[in-house]
């Protein structure tokens, strides 16, 4: 016999089971905490010490900033300029030629490292322009596959060139390579040991 409960009834049943399991888990945790009271108290003491240490560190930072506000403003200005230069550099990297993006790039110098990941590239052709220059492609086939459908099939054109039925150099001027996504760009400020 099929279960005739509604989907909401089934969901509510699962919700009830989860609530019961959560209650059981809390009860078990309570037993554990009672059984291990000394360890639990030590954990609470350490957590309090960590929080106090964080507060002390923050108080010291505030004190440092108050001591010389002009210097802090210069530091903040330098950081804004660094961030602005990094953003400009990333934009430059996104605009690198496809040939470089396909391989990726890593440059290091001046205590700075720039890494540009390899980027996947989609190859297509400006079909109308290619067909105007080489109308014979419209009727060519390789192993029953047309070279041109509504677009030029790069794989089939590649096979046509491989079989020396068409000059690959002639198609190169019509080739379009498109980034499928921007590469990731990582810029690391290397700091020498003092």
Q: How far is C-alpha 112 from the chain's CA centre?
A: 21
* 103 CB-near residues (< 8 Å, 6+ apart): 118
Give me the pLDDT at residue 2, please.
65
Inter-residue contact 185 to 91 (CB < 8 Å)? no
Give me the pLDDT at residue 6, please.
82
Give me the pLDDT at residue 82, please.
94
Give me the pLDDT at residue 51, please.
97
* 154 CB-near residues (< 8 Å, 6+ apart): 123, 124, 125
Give me the pLDDT at residue 84, please.
94
Q: How far is C-alpha 12 from the chain's CA centre?
A: 38
pLDDT in tens, the chain (194 residues): 567 888 788 888 888 899 899 989 999 988 888 888 889 899 999 999 999 999 999 999 999 888 888 888 999 999 999 999 999 999 999 888 888 888 999 998 888 999 999 888 888 888 888 889 998 988 888 888 888 877 788 888 889 989 988 888 888 888 888 787 777 877 666 655 44
pTM of the shown model: 0.50
Rounded distance, CA 148 to CA 119, Å?
27
> What residue spans define the domains of the chain?
68-118+183-189, 127-173
Tokens of 113: 């490292």
């Amino acid at each position: 016999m099929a279960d005739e409960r509604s989907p909401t009834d089934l969901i509510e049943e699962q919700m009830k089971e989860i609530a019961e399991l959560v209650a059981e888990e809390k009860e078990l945790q309570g037993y554990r905490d009672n059984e291990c009271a000394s360890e639990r108290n030590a954990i609470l003491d350490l957590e309090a010490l960590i929080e106090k240490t964080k507060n002390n560190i923050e108080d010291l930072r505030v004190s440092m900033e108050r001591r010389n506000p002009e210097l802090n403003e210069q530091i903040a200005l330098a950081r804004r300029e660094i961030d602005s230069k990094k953003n400009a550099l990333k934009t430059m990297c996104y605009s690198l030629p496809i040939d470089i993006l396909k391989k990726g790039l890593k440059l290091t110098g001046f205590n700075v490292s720039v890494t540009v990941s390899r980027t996947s590239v989609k190859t297509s052709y400006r079909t109308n322009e290619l067909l105007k220059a080489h109308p014979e492609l419209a009727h060519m086939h390789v192993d029953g596959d047309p070279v041109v459908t509504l677009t030029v099939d790069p794989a089939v054109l590649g096979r046509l060139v491989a079989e020396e039925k068409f000059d690959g150099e002639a198609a190169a001027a019509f080739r379009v390579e498109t980034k499928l996504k921007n590469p990731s760009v990582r810029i690391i400020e290397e700091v020498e040991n003092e």
